[in-house]
A and B are shown apart, each in its own frame.
Chain A
């Protein structure tokens, strides 16, 4: 077993990315994710990697697009307003089927908002925030270990499905320090990159594009992308179930909200209440089946988010028809992070 480290979530992402073989990083400063470009600027040059602090978030995602088109593992990171700027090119990369990693250590909004933990970007991340109708793979770590593990997983799944992947975190999981057990990337069979640009050599020309003007061409492309999203839903849903088997009420939430909720669930158990936690780890694909299965028996779900209600829409679409879904949310802003006691009160209210 390797040595345990005490690191911030943002650093765990960097370590996971480097371990996954990511060498070019392209970014732009924005709080609360600056630890990521700062770490990469120190570490990547030593590994013969590339670090560029671009002139904008827009330029940095397009550098990722260029690097990814050659088949290398490339990443960028930003925070909410910066992700908004990147969305046009994320749509391009979804259309071009280019694997890459985009990290959103999101901040509160809308507008300039603030730098506190927030989950106001759920819709943007999960529903395809850019134009044209697409999805990215979205993973929501809730611990420093998961920041590391899910970063490696994101690179693998991005390559297997040829899709941009996103890590959706916030200041809580990004800035907090916690023990991390680094480990080598789990080996996984990956498809050959027979699409990557390298100069045509003696072979056929390759090109990567998203413009399709011929009769029926673009529609066909969209069905190809749709089939990929269906395959992700079928094969890659991930969630954590904690004390759900005998639960009378299931609390759900993702990322930092789920972390607070888990404490509240344990407090409820200490008081003898049969409460469990169902925590989506993949936000797209959303673990619909896990919700359907869990609510076949448990008819009460309490969804907790750091916003006024976003994931709750997917929860409502996924649960059994006779299950009740309650929502408790605090939109972001200084002083708005709920306490475990506050959530315990909500649990008792709906139990």
Chain B
């Protein structure tokens, strides 16, 4: 009998701690599939960040180092420079990457480090209980913007992919989502393209993936999935922002 679907080798056969309706599990799978398809599992060193995805080592069957909050691109720089033959990616949330880690992501990108960054944007701090993030949309209620985010006092949601694509050091930058089958297939392609850049030694690659957070948004899994398509995709436009090698 021909096997047409299976768990990726790079993922462990375990249950995750993610909430029902959270997109982390789906994004993990896409990343693991991409690792498998390039045959990277044995030479990969993942860099886990602070947030719900800190348990990367529990779900991926790869070598992993944990990073202090926001510093994953600096840690990945150290790993990759020390072991240039390894495949190195970070997996970071928006609180981690777009707030406390702003300096590290901009400068790793600007140096054109030969690493890949998976940036999971759910417009909130998930693990700490749903506080306002730099990506929180205007009007969005969070535990620290209880009356909704206001631009006058909290500023505007940061579009990180657009910001980074301005830097000459960035080889590939794209934004994807996994809220519909079509978007999910596109997200897989973008992650694969990003990884191909590193596999071929072509420089810094970045994929932002929009994600739901039903628990902290106070929504059902289905409502949260719909919010990604309606509200987030409207402000954070999906697409390829930079593709220097035309993959």
Chain B residues whose C-beta falls within 8 Å of the C-beta of A199 in the assembled complex: 42-45, 62-63, 83, 86-87
Q: A62-B104, A207-B57 are in contact. Are A197 and B77 (CB under 8 A)?
A: no
> Is A96 an interface position by the 8 A CB rule?
yes
Of B62, B66, B81, B103, which one neighbours A50 at CB under 8 angstroms?
Answer: B81
Interface residues on B, range: 35 or more
Chain A residues whose C-beta falls within 8 Å of the C-beta of B34 in the assembled complex: none
> Is B75 an interface position by the 8 A CB rule?
yes
Contacts of A57-103 to chain B: CB distance below 8 A: 58-60, 62-70, 72, 74, 88-89, 92, 96
Complex-state Cα separation, A311 to B104, whole angstroms: 36
- Asked whether, in the complex, the Cβ of A59 is within 8 Å of the Cβ of B82, the reply is no
- Asked whether, in the complex, the Cβ of A207 is within 8 Å of the Cβ of B65, the reply is yes
Contact with B along A2-43 (1 / 0, CB 8 A): 000000000000000000000010100000000000000000
Chain B residues whose C-beta falls within 8 Å of the C-beta of A187 in the assembled complex: none
- Asked whether, in the complex, the Cβ of B86 is within 8 Å of the Cβ of A198, the reply is yes
Interface residue total, chain A, C-beta cutoff 8 A: 38
The residue on A at minimum CB distance from B66 is A209
The residue on B at minimum CB distance from A92 is B68
Contacts of A180-232 to chain B: CB distance below 8 A: 197-202, 205-211
- Asked whether, in the complex, the Cβ of A59 is within 8 Å of the Cβ of B64, the reply is no
Q: A200-B63, A209-B57, A209-B66 are in contact. Are A55 and B107 (CB under 8 A)?
A: yes
> Is A263 an interface position by the 8 A CB rule?
no
- Asked whether, in the complex, the Cβ of B68 is within 8 Å of the Cβ of A89, the reply is yes
Q: A55-B107, A89-B68, A208-B66 are in contact. Are A24 and B82 (CB under 8 A)?
A: yes
> Is A344 an interface position by the 8 A CB rule?
no
Of B42, B75, B107, which one neighbours A65 at CB under 8 angstroms?
Answer: B75
- Asked whether, in the complex, the Cβ of B74 is within 8 Å of the Cβ of A62, the reply is yes
> Can you name 8 A-B residue pairings with CB atoms under 8 Å?
A58-B74, A62-B71, A63-B78, A66-B76, A66-B79, A74-B82, A197-B79, A207-B66
